[in-house]
Structure 1
Amino acid sequence: MMQLYYSPTSPFSRKVRVVLRELQLEKQISEILIDPWTDEALRAHNPLAKVPTLILDDGMAVFESAVICDYLDQVAKSAGLSGGVIPENGSARLNALKWQGLADGMMAATGRLFADSNRAEQDRCEDVMERQAQAITSGIEAIIDGLAGLRTEDAHLGTWSVLVALYYIDFRWPDRRFDIPVRVRDWMAVMSERPSFVETVFHLPHAGD
């Protein structure tokens, strides 16, 4: 059985976990919760020691969430489990990958800003923090403008990526530092009722995890 190393606070982990459920692959993959900062088992498979990391049946390690999602999409299509989350070609494929790229950038900016905000004041770089904050704000604006292309029906990899990115902002900034308008939140609320989101909600590691 394939193994997926993940962290409950990682948006890239959540994206993969959402996708594997949408592809109906959750019974084929054992999900292993770890601390990527301390778990040597992860570094043994992934020299970057980052989550998510997928271990295939033959022992090969696959890392970076976009690569893992692409692989899982091909597995599901080959097995006839679903129509996949990545369109096969043309503008539809490019559109899905474009939204994934935007969302991944927002996730990275959110994580970086959160980490920098928790540093001692003398260790912060205000210019870098402002750049990360602007990336998040601009990303939200792009989502607002393109929301019609992220319909609830016919959701694709870009759809799931954007949703995870938006919920990650809320997870790291529960005081609503970043303004996500009501119509976007209404869309988020509808999509978050799906089992793939209910089962992968962000949370801090619990004692004993």
Structure 2
Amino acid sequence: MQLIYAAASPFARKVRVLAFETGLLARIELLDTAVLPTTLNERVNALNPLGKIPVLLSDGGEALYDSRVICEYLDTLHDGARLLPQDDTRWPVLRLAALADGLMDAALLARYEKAVRQAEQQSQAWLEGQLGKVQRALAELERQADRLQGPVDLAQIGVACALGYLDFRFADLDWRAAHPALSRFQQAFAQRPSMLASAPA
């Protein structure tokens, strides 16, 4: 298998952490590429019409995207406990994983607004709208922080990668100050070998 990814992408990090946690990382060739909304990457576009990473090429040569699909696919390839449960606990895990993905989406859009668009093209209202989504997601994750306990699952991985992205790109938000339970979760989860190995530089 091959994973086309960018080291700074929290969505790609989520896939790499899940692959590490399930023992599948050694089966995946990692192909690092940087893809911005303004960058035309023909290989990525040929594999994913949306031009987004990560993209996983399965052993059969099929291109899988986005990170949610890739994670679910990888979770079927190992013999350990499923990180996306198949019983009634599946729905709370999926809901928290979706909230983490939404947080990452909003943070990435805010990042692109500041880092990619020319200053005269930037919209403060757009930026504030995306950061408002981030803040609301953090508040809800804090409220549900007790669900981020127990055996590792896809929700925990997604939340940890989302919070790690905030640390990496939005240190000035100081999200920990108002979210102590999330801060404790992140402090512990960030020490897992899978997180240390995938930390953006």
| TM-score, scaled to structure 1 | 0.88
Deviation at 1:38, TM superposition (A): 5.0
Equivalent residue runs for 1:26-105 within 5 Å: 26-36=25-35, 37=39, 39-76=41-78, 80=79, 82-90=80-88, 92-105=89-102
Q: Distance in 2 between matches of 1:183 and 1:71?
A: 31
Which stretch shifts more, 46-55 or 119-128? 119-128
Q: Distance in 2 between matches of 1:182 and 1:197?
A: 20
- Cα RMSD of the aligned pairs, angstroms, is 1.5
| Partner deviation per Cα, 1:98-133 (whole Å, 9 max, x = no partner) | 011000000010011111123344312222222111
Does 2:148 match 1:150? yes
Deviation at 1:40, TM superposition (A): 2.8
| Partner deviation per Cα, 1:55-108 (whole Å, 9 max, x = no partner) | 0122110010000011011112xxx2x112001021x10011001100000001
Identity %: 30
- Which residue number corresponds to residue 170 of structure 2? 173
Aligned to 1:75, the other structure's residue is in SS state coil
For 1:193, the aligned partner's letter is Q
| TM-score, scaled to structure 2 | 0.91
Q: Distance in 2 between matches of 1:48 and 1:26?
A: 25
- Which residue number corresponds to residue 135 of structure 1? 133
For 2:63, the aligned partner's letter is A
Q: Distance in 2 between matches of 1:126 and 1:38?
A: 26
Q: Distance in 1 between matches of 2:46 and 2:126?
A: 32
Deviation at 1:54, TM superposition (A): 0.3
Does 2:19 match 1:20? yes
Aligned to 1:57, the other structure's residue is in SS state coil
- Which residue number corresponds to residue 10 of structure 1? 9
Aligned to 1:74, the other structure's residue is in SS state coil
- 5+ residue gaps in structure 2? none
**Does structure 2 conserve the Cα–Cα contact (< 8 Å) formed by 1:137 and 1:178?**
no
Deviation at 1:178, TM superposition (A): 4.3
Aligned to 2:64, the other structure's residue is in SS state strand
Correspondence for 2:185 among 182, 187, 193 = 187
For 1:149, the aligned partner's letter is R
Q: Distance in 1 between matches of 2:41 and 2:112?
A: 20
